[in-house]
Amino acid sequence: MLGKLDWSAIPFDQPIPLVAGAMVLVAILGVLTWVVVKGHLPYLWHEWITSVDHKRIGVMYVLLASVMLLRGGSDAIMMRVQQAIAYQSQGYLPPEHYNQIFSAHGTIMIFFVAMPFVIGLMNLVVPLQLGVRDVAFPTLNSVGFWLTATGALLVNVSLVVGEFSRTGWLAFPPLSGLTYSPGVGVDYYAWSLQISGIGTLVAGINLVTTVLKLRTRGMNYLRMPMFCWTTLASNLLIVAAFPILTATLAMLLLDRYLGFHFFTNEAGGNVMMFMNLIWAWGHPEVYILVLPAFGIFSEVVSTFSGKALFGYRSMVLATMAICVISFMVWLHHFFTMGAGPDVNAIFGIASMIIAVPTGVKIYNWLFTMYGGRIRFATPMLWAVGFMVTFIIGGLTGVLVAVPPADFLLHNSMFLVAHFHNVIIGGVLFGAFAGFEYWFPKAFGFRLDERWGKLAFWFTFTGFYITFMPLYIAGMLGMTRRLQHYDVAAWRPWMFVAAIGMAVLSIGVICQVMQLVVSIRNREALRDRTGDPWDGRSLEWATSSPPPVFNFAFHPDVRGEDAYWDLKTHAKQQLLGHHPEPEYQDIEMPKNSPTGFVCAFFATIMGFALIWHIWWMVILGGLGAFATFVVFAWRDHDEYVIPAAEVARIDGVNLEERRSLVSMAGSI
Amino acid sequence: MSDQTHMPVQHDLAPGEEEQHSVGERIIGYVVGLVLALLLTAMSFFIAGTDLVWQPSIPVALIVLAIAQMGVHLVFFLHITTGPDNTNNVLALAFGLLIVFLVVGGTVWIMAHLNQNMPPMDQIMQMRS
């Protein structure tokens, strides 16, 4: 009846996951009770859960990523503490638990923090920057988000029901095969990634289509803001690469569930094929993450330097070059697997070549800042911090791209330090910069600058104190994923790294404090202009938060930096009385519970597949399919906002702006 | 969102968004495609079993016929054309082909070279003899 599921699945003998799980459960129940008692449930359901508004979905993506960042961060703290005390002792985490923690940390941080964070920001901003009213497929967008949330939910359920994978974040066979991992851990891993992978693919298709097909008048490809370009490149990579991940995990699951032999050592299987395929996805994946971050930095650097982006066209070219070359370097993740010198050399050279367009970008940002009037607001701090940190990470990356050097550094702490250096210094700093930069646009008030700067400085220094020692430990020969060790020379560095982790955590606390303080002072921090940073692209042309239809009129774009042109233009013909614009009815897509209901059934199906509860698998599958059919048979999917309502909403915005312009005129 | 999809930003059409043709023309297009596809399929089966042609040429002929089959599907059923209204579709196809070529070609190359540093014993014996 319940497959492999029984009471032994709940780890009563392990206090840490049980207490953590109980605390989370209490917190969730508390929030739910508060929501129901206060009567917020209808609001949540109508305005958020069923929303197909790209801005709302973007916010929910970022919220999911932030919550999961705390989860992945707690895993990181536990690992650093374990390695600091596990010198000639077992530490406080038993090996099987420690292995689950580093597997969950990697899986969560890549799939459920970095991915939703960048997809969320792209969802929030790209339609606004393109000057359009929505994404290409609004309901599909909601489905994509909720499927990602399903994956995150399943990973967290594994904390209390059963166990998580102990095989590292990529679950290499034969360790992840049925022989060495008979438990449900790898199944939790694989099914949550399969389900959230569909969500990611859907989001990718949606955003590619949006950038290619929905642009406002005059928004040529070469007038798009840089963030739109990196979104296009990143989502092209999603569409091209995620099917590889899905196929690879499907083969692993066939091995585990139906006795296939794709990745076994006997019966003609080849374990190396898994490594090859997973990295053919895995390498483009890191560019999927970092390209949007590059886009965010381009926007931030040009806004806060008060200059147009230096070398816009070279930036576009570099982005698209990275998009293609990222598919030619994947072997550098397994130089040591046995390939001969010619294979290794070609992939090593390709890996060094991909650093060239990245270098072009760094110089472009530097030249954008050069001669500009730089304002060091929080987003700009993150951007400058990124440039310094990312260059170090990039240089160590070029170092490990040299095959002979890689043979010494492979799977060492040096590698761990390298990829944290680029992913934290690149993606996470980018996500934070984007968060600070676009928060006023999403919510209508700015974030507190003082706490923001504190958060930056603690995170920045914490990062260096944590990860620079890991480089040294790696060069002293320490391998990654050690539960305990007996080498005295590594110990001081592990101590320093643990202290760094504490500093990093203070940074995270500051970030939370910033949010709390800003929400409390929101009236003082209110952004009435829609343009708090003196921005250059179209998202600042509408009010903050934007109305549901984004723009009352489709903006007319005449060049790069569309909104900057508009502002210069407006200042020149200062206070000229414009005739009252003629508003028209606007059609917007209706909210739909399709995404939420689909994800509900997908959760049931995923859970049932993990525990081999076959009747429930069928139930979940049928439910999800029925939801799709009901949605496909819908009659009306749009509603009309009458012209009078549009005029009322836009009038408020125009009034604010006129008063702003007249103030600027009187000075 | 109907007002946006028809904006004159560019002139490409999404797959499935047909240009205005009469029904007759469209039916003829599909029929020609069907006939060509069937013809190519029949030829593949015929070539595979025949001894009329030089035997080593059969695999090459099958590959050529398979690629022709893909071409027929793209042109007659997926309506990929070289016209200016199809730029995005052609680019998407080219990008897809490039990625498939890189991943499949790269995989074959990598997997063929995996044992170079430490070949299995029987391969070493072959090298000696």
Nearest to A419 by CA among A337, A333, A344: A333
Nearest-by-CA chain A residue for B11 = A213
Size of interface A-B (CB pairs under 8 A): 77
Q: Which residue has the tokens 């090859």?
A: A276
pLDDT on residue A400: 92
Predicted pLDDT of residue B6 = 42
How far is residue A376 from each of residues A384, A438, B119, measured CA to CA in Å?
A: 9, 16, 58
A251 lies in a domain?
Answer: no
Last residue of a domain, one of A239, A270, A293: A239
Same domain for A54 and A135? yes
Contact A276 B111 (CB under 8 A): yes
Neighbouring residues of B46: CB distance < 8 A, sequence distance ≥ 6? none
Cα–Cα distance for residue pair B43/A20, rounded to 1 Å:
65
**Which residue, among B110, B111, B117, would best test binding to A if mutated, counting the most A CBs under 10 Å from its CB?**
B110
- Helix (H) or strand (E) holding A353, with range, is helix A341-353
3-class DSSP state of B51: coil
Q: Are residues A426 and A481 in the same domain?
A: yes
A131: closest CA of chain B, how far (Å): 11
A322, A427: one domain: yes
Question: Which pLDDT score, from 0 to 100, does residue A560 have?
Answer: 84
Average pLDDT, chain A: 90
| ipTM of the prediction | 0.85
pLDDT, position B129: 59
pLDDT at site A316? 95
Residue B2 scores a pLDDT above 60: no
**Who among B4, B5, B109 is closest to A343 (CB)?**
B109
The pLDDT-based confidence of B7 (bands split at 50, 70, 90) is very low
User: What's the predicted TM-score (pTM) here?
Assistant: 0.90
Q: What's at B39, amino acid-wise?
A: L
Q: Is A571 on the interface with B (CB under 8 A)?
A: no
Answer whether residue A608 is part of any domain.
Answer: no
Q: Where residue B4 falls among pLDDT bands split at 50, 70, 90?
A: very low
A216 in reach of chain B (CB within 8 A): yes
Cβ contacts of B116 on chain A, cutoff 8 Å: 338-341, 343
Tell whether A301 is covered by a domain.
Answer: yes
Q: Which residues on chain B are in Cβ contact (under 8 Å) with A209?
A: 14
Question: Are A152 and A13 found together in one domain?
Answer: yes
Residues A93 and A17 occupy one common structural domain: yes
Cα–Cα distances (Å) from A64 to A114, A148, A519, in that order, read 10, 9, 19
- Are A171 and A292 members of one domain? no
Q: Are A233 and A293 in a shared domain?
A: no
pLDDT at A246: 95
Q: Is the peptide bond before A15 cis (omega within 30 degrees of 0)?
A: no
In a shared domain, residues A102 and A219:
yes
Q: Determine the distance in angstroms separating the CA of A481 from the nearest CA of chain B, rounded to an integer.
A: 26
In a domain, residue A610? The reply is no
* pLDDT surpassing 60 at residue B8: no
- Alpha carbon distances (Å) from A189 to A115, A193, A240: 16, 6, 22
Residue that finishes a domain, picked among A239, A261, A295 = A239
Q: What is the pLDDT of residues A505-542, one digit of tens each?
A: 999 999 999 999 999 999 999 888 888 998 999 999 88
Q: Is the residue at A274 inside a domain?
A: no
DSSP helix/strand/coil, A135: coil
Residue A576 per-residue DSSP state: P
The answer to whether the Cβ–Cβ distance between A340 and B113 falls below 8 Å is yes
Q: Are A195 and A151 in contact (CB under 8 A)?
A: yes
* Interchain contact A336–B (C-beta under 8 A): no
Same domain, A70 and A155: yes
Residues of B in contact with A248 (CB under 8 A): none
Which of A236, A273, A280 has the CB atom closest to B103's CB atom? A280
The CA distance from A124 to A441, in Å, is 9
In this structure, the dihedral spanned by the alpha carbons of residues A126, A129, A135 and A136, taken in order and rounded to 10 degrees, is -100
Are A186 and A111 found together in one domain?
yes
Both structure tokens of A137: 């497929």
Task: Answer yes or no: are the C-beta atoms of A125 and A539 closer than 8 Å.
Answer: yes
Q: What is the pLDDT of residue A662?
A: 66
The CATH number of whichever domain residue A467 belongs to comes to: 1.20.210.10
Flag whether pLDDT at B89 surpasses 50: yes
> What is the nearest CA distance from A115 to chain B, expressed in angstroms?
22
Chain A residues closer than 8 Å to B89 by CB: none
Both A200 and A314 in one domain: the answer is no
Q: Is A375 helix (H, G, I), strand (E, B) or coil?
A: coil
Which chain A residue's Cα is nearest to B119?
A338
Q: How confident is the model at residue B14 (pLDDT cuts 50, 70, 90)?
A: low
- Total domain count for chain A? 2
Residues A332, A195 within the same domain: no
Task: State whether residue A329 is helix, strand or coil.
Answer: coil
Helix (H) or strand (E) holding A639: strand A638-641
Asked if residue A584 is part of any domain, the answer here is: no
What pLDDT, on a 0 to 100 scale, did the predictor assign at position B10?
46
A624 in a structural domain: no
Q: Are A117 and A178 in contact (CB under 8 A)?
A: no
Say how many Å lie between the first and final Cα of chain B, rounded.
71
Q: Which residues of chain A have pLDDT under 70?
A: 571-580, 661-667
Residues of A in contact with B5 (CB under 8 A): 213-214
Using a CB-CB distance cutoff of 8 angstroms, which residues of chain A are in contact with residue B95? Answer: 236, 240
Contacts of A280 in chain B (CB under 8 A): 103, 106-107
Residue A535 in any domain: the answer is no
The boundaries of the domain holding residue A69 are 1-239
Beta bridge partners, A445, equal A526
Q: Tell me how far apart the alpha carbons of residues A162 and A5 are, in angstroms, rounded to a whole number.
A: 8
Q: Which two tokens stand for residue A259?
A: 């006795």
Of A244, A339, A342, the CB nearest to B114: A339
